[in-house]
Structure 1
Amino acid sequence: MVKVLLIEDEPHKRDELSGHLMRYFGSRLELEIADSVKSAIDRVALNDYGLIVLDMALPTFSIGEASSDGGLDQALGGVEILRSLRAHNKSQRIIIVTQYPDILLSGRRVKIAKAQLALEKKYRQKIIGAVLYKYRSPTNRSKIETLLRRVH
């Protein structure tokens, strides 16, 4: 079994990514889903995963948890999860899937491709790679499968 945590709040993107994971891993997949910073931090504190698929922009809470709308979107929500992993002395394999071409690191914008190394060093995680997600793009699947092959 391959235990995967998919951290994604947008239903259409979550469904597409879940489908790619199911096709790739088949019956070996044990999939858990978190849809907010809080729900992801709760899960990573208690569990280890063979892989985490991480969106970088997430709401603070799941809908209905602390407010009816899930709280404020955090552009750096994914960074909070990486910070939590480091605080729990965990090193996980991570694929970043984001709709934003760059990430704010130490007060400056860094292109997603270059951010991978900086995130890996700063948060002591095994960043497998990053995908710049485009809604319903046929290239999403091939990019994700290329990174999944690096996991095993």
Structure 2
Amino acid sequence: MNILMIEDDQNKIKQIVDELNNVYPSITITRRNSFQSGLKEILGNRQKYKLLILDMSMPTFDISNKETGGRLRPFAGKDILRQMYRKNIFIPTVVVTQFENFGELIENVTLSQLNIELKESFSNIYMGTVYYNAAQDNWKQDLIKYIDKYTKESEQISG
């Protein structure tokens, strides 16, 4: 199974990749590190990926020695889902985030509120949210639960 992960935190990437490779040794994970590189990958390879693991808050551009990443986008994941919806791209998506609140003080949104909004707006592709905490392991079971659910549903469809 081909999975695309759009995530900018290197420690989080390592932990997620290690867990997925341990549980699903035959998967292939492609990684992108920003809103722009992730969206470009989705638009250019819409049929390639069976699942998307998506961070919510990330920089606009990839960070490098020459690039600062541009501005931080608190709702970059939601913006990517919106673009997928507009372009009729149907990749089942799990949001994995380490934040419980998003946006500025004026536009503060809790993880629970965001989850409800994403379910309502993107019900055809949004599977749910995993709250990631590097000091705990329960995020691993939550992520595996979503992937197993997707795998079982896709097996039933393909017969």
Please give the range of the TM-score, normalised by the shorter of the 2 chains.
0.7 to 0.9
Which residue in the other structure is 2:157 paired with? none
Deviates more, 1:31-40 or 1:120-129: 120-129
Of the three residues 31, 34, 38, the one matched with 1:33 is 31
| 1:115-126 matched pairs, under 5 angstroms | 115-123=114-122, 125-126=124-125
How big is each residue's C-alpha offset from its partner over 1:85-111, in whole Å with a ceiling of 9 and x where there is no partner? Answer: 11211122111111122456xx85544
* In structure 1, distance between residues paired with 2:81 and 2:9: 20
Which residue in the other structure is 1:45 paired with? 43
> Contact between 2:119 and 2:128, CA under 8 Å: does it hold in 1?
no
Q: TM-score under structure 2 normalisation?
A: 0.81
* In structure 1, distance between residues paired with 2:107 and 2:70: 25
Root-mean-square deviation (Å): 2.1
How big is each residue's C-alpha offset from its partner over 1:28-62, in whole Å with a ceiling of 9 and x where there is no partner? Answer: x1211010000011011012321100100000000
Letter in 2 for 1:94: T
Which residue in the other structure is 1:56 paired with? 56
Offset at residue 119 of structure 1 (A) = 1.3
Offset at residue 117 of structure 1 (A) = 4.0
Larger radius of gyration: 2
| 1:1-152 matched pairs, under 5 angstroms | 2-27=1-26, 29-48=27-46, 49-64=49-64, 68-103=67-102, 109-123=108-122, 125-152=124-151
> Contact between 1:37 and 1:61, CA under 8 Å: does it hold in 2?
yes
Dislocated runs of 4+, deviation >6 Å = none
Q: TM-score under structure 1 normalisation?
A: 0.85
3-state SS, counterpart of residue 53 of structure 1: strand
Listed as ranges, the gaps of 5+ residues in structure 2 are 152-159
The 1:35/1:112 distance shift into structure 2, 3 A limit, reads same
* In structure 2, distance between residues paired with 1:150 and 1:103: 27
3-state SS, counterpart of residue 129 of structure 1: strand
Listed as ranges, the gaps of 5+ residues in structure 1 are none
* In structure 1, distance between residues paired with 2:11 and 2:34: 15
The sequence identity of aligned pairs, in percent, is: 23
> Contact between 2:102 and 2:111, CA under 8 Å: does it hold in 1?
yes
> Contact between 2:133 and 2:139, CA under 8 Å: does it hold in 1?
yes
Offset at residue 5 of structure 1 (A) = 0.5
